[in-house]
Amino acid sequence: MLGGGVGQKLRARAGRAGAPRWRLPGGRRTAVIAGSALALLVASVVTWLVWPEGSPDPRARVYRDVSACLLTGSGGVNDPAAAPVWAGMQAASLETRGKVQYLEVDGPQTREQAATYLATLVNSRCDLILSVGDAANGAVVAAAPTYTNVRFVLVGTGARRDNVSVVEEQEPAAISRTVEALVAEALKG
């Protein structure tokens, strides 16, 4: 053994040789990290400042509280008889910002079956109900005297009444124009 505390000094130096060195802040690594964080912060603030104001979604439409509803056969709005009616309703909706919707009669295409779906539209508080097809038109003709406070439009053939109008045009473009005018008038309120 070595005397005079030399062994203690050697052990102290040996212990320091394997230990990591601690540096004071301000070294190169710290400067790179601080610079990156500052650049990220500046980029975030600039992005926030120049970001455009929130504008409404271009597809979002604010509708008024009026609606026109279409009762169709099982083919829905893709049925050749219903397609021009639906096109006219959509055009009127764009003009007036009124809501348009349709309901197709599922199951047997009878007047009795269509009457159930017609009652659904009446209870939905549609301001105007249009119908296309024999079953739907038959249900409207039968139910119109009961629902005197609802306006109906038959597309095709049917009897006019106080609350029932008939679109008798045969050409799809003429049907669309007539329906658009009737629906727009109803939705403008």
Q: pLDDT, tens digit, for every residue of 32-41?
A: 888 888 899 9
- The CATH number of the domain where 80 resides is what? 3.40.50.2300
Residue 177 lies in a domain: yes
- The Cα angle at residue 115 between residues 98 and 140, in degrees rounded to 5: 65
What pLDDT score does 25 carry? 61
pLDDT of residue 141: 94
Residue 173 lies in a domain: yes
**pLDDT value of residue 188:** 86
- Residue 149 domain-assigned (yes or no): yes
Residues 60-78 pLDDT 10s: 677 788 899 999 999 999 9
Residue 34 included in any domain: no
Q: Residue 58: inside a domain, yes or no?
A: no
Residue 179: per-residue pLDDT: 95
Q: Considering the entire predicted model, what is its pTM?
A: 0.68
Query: Nearest Cα to 143, choosing from 155, 152, 156?
Result: 152
**Position 103 in a domain:** yes
- The pLDDT of residue 66 is 87
Residue 130 belongs to some domain of the structure: yes
The 3 state secondary structure assigned to the chain is CCCCCHHHHHHHHHHHHCCCCCCCCCCHHHHHHHHHHHHHHHHHHHHHHHCCCCCCCCCCCCCCCCEEEEEECCCHHHCCCCHHHHHHHHHHHHHHCCEEEEEECCCCCCHHHHHHHHHHHHHCCCCEEEEECHHHHHHHHHHCCCCCCCEEEEECCCCCECCEEEECCCCHHHHHHHHHHHHHHHHHC
What is the number of structural domains in the chain? 1
> Is the Cβ–Cβ distance between 93 and 61 less than 8 Å?
no
> Containing domain of residue 86, as a range?
67-188
Q: Is residue 81 part of a domain?
A: yes
In 3D space, the residue among 20, 19, 23 whose CA is nearest the CA of residue 31 turns out to be: 23
Place of tokens 């603030």: 45
Question: Mean pLDDT, the chain, as a whole number?
Answer: 85
Which of the pair, 56 or 45, is modelled with greater confidence? 45
Residue 12 vs residue 107, higher pLDDT: 107
pLDDT of residue 6: 56
